[in-house]
């Protein structure tokens, strides 16, 4: 038995220091908040794409307003830990039928009553946690704890809640113990190495003093003390903002209410978005979740931090980690930001880890994100086929669909203009095929998606959009010039969204290019606009600063009529990938709009590459089946899916440590196998917008990883040699190059290089 004790005095002081706001306390701005609520509700009813009235039944027995109530409960108790089913039944019975009338009347009393109940439940649970942590934990036996409870019922009783919390607390404590031991072992190893170096050099070698460490019990207890403190610091305006956010999100996941303070912070963050680590965060189940990596930023260049990773703790340089679970998002952002050149360490739960409870430490040096790092770039890649013949392939990486519309003092910069310049240089290099990499491209400018499509087709419709009135507008490319009519592959995954999907869908519908990647793209087929709430309030309203609503106002449709919403763009050739899972994409979000269709547009196909797909798919499938790297992906994917389905973590310390050692051994075995096989030895010549006119292009190795960030070493590893020395492996890239080789051969003996070199095409 391993005893853990915690003096309850600190916890009791924390509970006494912050008295929660009660619903019957006088509120100076109650009228202002009510007016904002009424206005936001009217805006949603009249301007949202769905045009749903709050009292409309959107599901059997469920009105739009009832969905807002349910979403509010989810935002408060996202993992269904604090409320019991009796609480939920009481709320729905008391407010469910009439909540639409309260909202339209600007009455926030139901929201405040629910919030006060939530705080009282958290107070009681945090006190219970303090007492429970005074007990003993054996970390033995075969018991497990549930990881995610967002799809499970609320506890049926207090007794059931206590049992659930006992397991959960033991799991969190065990995780803290394992993480603490790993840190101590690394520090001890570094200390021993410093002593050895001092003995060898006979010089003074001072080992930096370690910062004071929290015990595992303190780590867990502080987490819940901070959660309670954060909740108790929320005023009525904060609580109203949460309820209005729930109201907006009940319509669809991309609609949102931002208070004036949140809107001001958003504008500030937009101005500072190019300084720091270059990551966009969103609060998700108590964690700061990575929703986007700024192209060219330190995190993006490093390659370790991934979209959908969740941040559990943050540390500055060599200081102690600070747990940020359940911390307000703006405070997490403050801790991650910092001066250029300083170091931040993040403890993350990797989205693609087979063990969803395993923490990984990522070290990133803060830097300024250069705009040129976010721009399109290209490579000329010579690949050797089975027959020994070389094939020259152009590769364009497109991080986003961007546009800079002649801002004062800056030259015009746009996706289409940049890709045109790169593609002209690739043609001079006599490429035979072109691959456009849109993996992780979350979209951007609709106009640029249309214009970029025009580089590969003569002219015609590219995308359709339907507004709230049902009006359908077709947007077309009107330039008859074609810059590239040779073999074309668009590479996508489930993180490719919005404008990326419009571009890929159009090329697929025109028969102009082949889509390769995950089974489908993200599936975001909607358009949002940001509207100032004050503009729609009565002239006599008290609210001078009322925030803004981000509203979904349109849906996108392909020229063949189908929406990109939910279904995204289906790949012609599917390759194994860890991102290709149902939990990634529009369908995994709350309250997504549905798929539908509109009439198809008339257009002239630009090719018939679909006829080649069956043969390409057969050849690719044979290679994928024999490729050990794809075998690794399949193994990791199966383990990940199993873990998600099991939704449980062992409470046995020996079992957990054995799982960690097993994962480490698997990684080391793969590294040894890769070294034995050797790398493909792929070389490329890089083309950037700065070098597009250079007579000589710089050679780069495609087998070397980036070095801007690294993963902290585990026990037994050399901390001075992080895993950035491991070969960079991208089996999807390598297989895409082979697919392109097959593609070119299937088109026949006519050399594409001759056609590309002599073509004189107009550019937009």
Pairing label, strands 573-574, 514-517: parallel
Residue 25 confidence (pLDDT): 40
Which is higher by pLDDT, 616 or 723? 616
pLDDT score of 283? 74
> What pLDDT digit, counting tens, does each position of 314-361 carry?
888 878 888 888 777 777 877 887 788 888 888 888 876 655 556 788
Give the rounded percent of residues in the chain with a pLDDT score beyond 70: 81
Q: Give the C-alpha separation, 639 to 365, whole Å.
A: 32
Backbone angles phi, psi at 29, to 5 degrees: -105, 25
> For the residues 193-203, what does the mean pLDDT come to?
46
* 84 pLDDT more than 70: yes
Marked catalytic residue, from 289, 304, 377, 524? 524
Residue from 627, 636, 555 nearest 594 by CA: 555
Q: Are 154 and 81 in contact (CB under 8 A)?
A: no
Strand 709-711, strand 472-477: pairing = unpaired
Q: Which residues, 6 or more positions from 271, have their beta carbon under 8 angstroms from its beta carbon?
A: none
Per-residue pLDDT, averaged over 367-376, amounts to 70
Summarize pLDDT for 122-161 with one digit per residue, the tens. 999 999 999 999 888 989 989 999 989 999 999 999 999 9
The predicted structure's pLDDT at residue 544: 65
Is residue 46 among the annotated active site residues?
Answer: no
pLDDT confidence band for 74 (50 / 70 / 90): very high
pLDDT above 90: percentage of residues in the chain: 56
Distance CA 110, CA 93 (A): 12
φ/ψ of 47, rounded to 5, equals: -115, -15
Give the pLDDT score at 251: 97
| 560 tagged catalytic | no
| pLDDT recorded at residue 361 | 85
pLDDT higher at 722 or 702? 702
Q: Which residues, in sequence order, are CB contacts of 475 under 8 Å at separation 6+?
A: 446, 450, 461, 462, 463, 464, 465
**CATH number of the domain at 275-368, please?**
2.30.42.10
Q: Which of 498, 521, 577, 650 is catalytic?
A: 498
- Give the model's confidence band at 300: pLDDT under 50 very low, under 70 low, under 90 confident, else very high: confident
Where are any strands of DSSP class E within 398-479? Answer: 403-404, 413-414, 433-437, 460-467, 472-477
Give me the pLDDT at residue 55, please.
95
Do the Cβ atoms of 113 and 617 come closer than 8 Å? no
User: Is the pTM of the predicted complex or chain greater than 0.75?
Assistant: yes
User: Is 720 among the catalytic positions?
Assistant: no
Instruction: For residue range 219-232, list pLDDT tens digits in order.
Output: 899 889 988 988 99
Specify the CATH number for 373-525+556-625+681-705+716-758; select among 3.90.226.10, 3.90.1150.10, 3.30.2270.10, 3.90.1580.10: 3.90.226.10
What is the maximal distance between C-alpha atoms in the chain? 83
Domain boundaries, the chain: 2-251, 275-368, 373-525+556-625+681-705+716-758
Q: Lowest mean pLDDT of 65-74, 244-253, 386-395, 538-547, name the range.
A: 538-547
pLDDT at 271: 38
- What average pLDDT score do residues 667-690 get? 88
User: Region 638-653: what's the mean pLDDT?
Assistant: 92
In angstroms, rounded to a whole number, what is the distance separating the alpha carbons of residues 94 and 101? 13
The answer to whether 285 and 79 have CB atoms below 8 angstroms apart is yes
pLDDT in tens, 246-258: 999 999 999 999 8
| Cα(561)–Cα(484) distance, integer angstroms | 26
Q: Report pLDDT digits (tens) over 454-512.
A: 999 999 999 999 999 999 999 999 999 999 999 999 999 999 999 999 999 999 999 99
Token pair for 429:
């290099």
CA distances from 381 to 516, 575, 666 (A): 18, 21, 32
When mean pLDDT is compared across 102-116, 493-507, 679-693, the lowest value belongs to: 679-693
pLDDT value at position 211? 46
């Amino acid at each position: 038995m391993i005893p853990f004790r915690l003096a309850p005095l600190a916890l009791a002081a924390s509970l006494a220091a912050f008295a929660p706001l009660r619903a019957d306390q006088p509120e100076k701005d109650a009228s202002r908040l009510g007016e904002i609520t009424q206005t936001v509700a009217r805006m949603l009813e009249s301007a949202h794409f769905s045009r749903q009235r709050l009292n409309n039944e959107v599901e059997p027995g469920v009105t739009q307003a009832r969905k807002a109530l349910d979403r509010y409960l989810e935002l408060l108790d996202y993992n269904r830990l604090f409320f019991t089913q009796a609480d939920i039944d009481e709320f729905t019975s008391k407010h469910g039928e009439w909540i639409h009338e309260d909202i339209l009347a600007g009455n926030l009393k139901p929201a405040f009553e629910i919030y006060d109940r939530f705080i009282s439940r958290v107070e009681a649970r945090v006190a219970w946690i303090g007492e429970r942590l005074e007990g003993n934990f054996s970390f033995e036996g075969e018991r497990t704890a549930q990881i995610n409870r967002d799809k499970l019922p609320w506890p049926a009783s207090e007794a059931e809640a206590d049992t659930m919390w006992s397991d959960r607390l033991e799991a969190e404590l065990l995780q803290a113990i394992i993480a603490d031991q790993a840190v101590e072992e690394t520090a001890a190893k570094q200390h021993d190495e410093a002593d050895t170096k001092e003995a060898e050099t006979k010089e003074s070698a001072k080992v930096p003093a370690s910062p004071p460490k929290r015990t595992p019990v303190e780590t867990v207890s502080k987490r819940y003390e901070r959660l309670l403190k954060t909740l108790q610091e929320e005023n009525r305006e904060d609580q109203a903002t949460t309820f209005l956010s729930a109201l907006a999100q009940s319509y669809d996941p991309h609609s949102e209410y931002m208070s004036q303070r949140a809107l001001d912070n958003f504008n500030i963050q937009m101005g500072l978005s190019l300084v720091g680590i270059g990551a966009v965060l969103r609060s998700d189940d108590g964690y700061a979740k990575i929703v986007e990596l700024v192209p060219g930023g330190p995190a993006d260049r490093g390659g370790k931090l991934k979209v959908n990773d969740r941040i559990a703790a943050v540390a500055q340089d060599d200081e102690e980690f600070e747990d940020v679970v359940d911390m307000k998002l703006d405070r997490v952002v403050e801790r991650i930001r910092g001066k250029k050149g300083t170091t931040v360490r993040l403890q993350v739960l990797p989205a693609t880890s087979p063990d969803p409870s395993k923490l990984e430490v990522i070290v990133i040096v803060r830097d300024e994100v250069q705009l040129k790092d976010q721009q399109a770039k290209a490579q000329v890649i010579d690949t050797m086929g089975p027959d020994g013949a070389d094939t020259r392939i152009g590769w364009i990486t497109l991080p986003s669909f961007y546009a800079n519309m002649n801002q004062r003092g800056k030259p015009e910069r746009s996706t289409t203009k940049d890709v045109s310049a790169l593609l002209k240089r690739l043609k001079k290099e006599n490429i035979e095929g072109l691959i456009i990499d849109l993996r992780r491209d979350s979209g951007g400018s609709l106009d640029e998606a249309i214009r970029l499509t025009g580089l590969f087709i003569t002219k015609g419709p590219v995308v359709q959009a339907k507004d709230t009135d049902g009006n359908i507008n077709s947007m077309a490319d009107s330039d008859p010039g074609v810059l590239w009519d040779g073999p074309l592959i668009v590479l996508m995954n489930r993180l490719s969204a919005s404008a990326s999907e419009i571009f890929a869908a159009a090329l697929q519908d025109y028969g102009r290019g082949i889509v390769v990647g995950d089974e489908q793209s993200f599936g975001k087929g909607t358009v949002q606009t940001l509207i100032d709430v004050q503009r729609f309030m009565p002239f006599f309203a008290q609210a001078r600063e009322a925030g803004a609503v981000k509203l979904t106002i349109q849906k996108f449709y392909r020229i063949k009529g189908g929406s990109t919403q939910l279904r995204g763009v289906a790949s012609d050739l599917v390759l194994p990938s860890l991102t290709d899972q149902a939990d990634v994409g529009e369908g995994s979000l709350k309250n997504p709009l549905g798929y539908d269709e509109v009439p198809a547009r008339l257009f002239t196909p630009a090719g018939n590459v679909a006829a080649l797909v069956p043969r390409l798919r057969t050849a690719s499938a044979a290679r994928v089946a024999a490729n050990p790297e794809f075998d690794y992906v399949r193994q990791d994917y199966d383990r990940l899916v199993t873990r998600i389905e099991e939704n449980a973590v062992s409470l046995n310390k020996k079992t957990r440590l054995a799982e960690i050692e097993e994962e480490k051994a698997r990684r080391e075995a793969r590294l040894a196998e890769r070294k034995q096989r050797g790398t493909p030895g792929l070389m490329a010549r890089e083309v950037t917008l700065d070098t597009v006119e250079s007579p000589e292009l710089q050679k780069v190795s495609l087998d070397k990883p980036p070095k801007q960030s690294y993963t902290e070493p585990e026990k037994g590893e050399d901390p001075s040699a992080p895993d950035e020395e491991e070969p960079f492996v991208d089996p999807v890239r390598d297989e895409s190059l082979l697919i392109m080789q097959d593609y070119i051969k299937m088109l026949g003996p006519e050399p594409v290089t001759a056609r590309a070199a002599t073509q004189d095409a107009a550019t937009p």
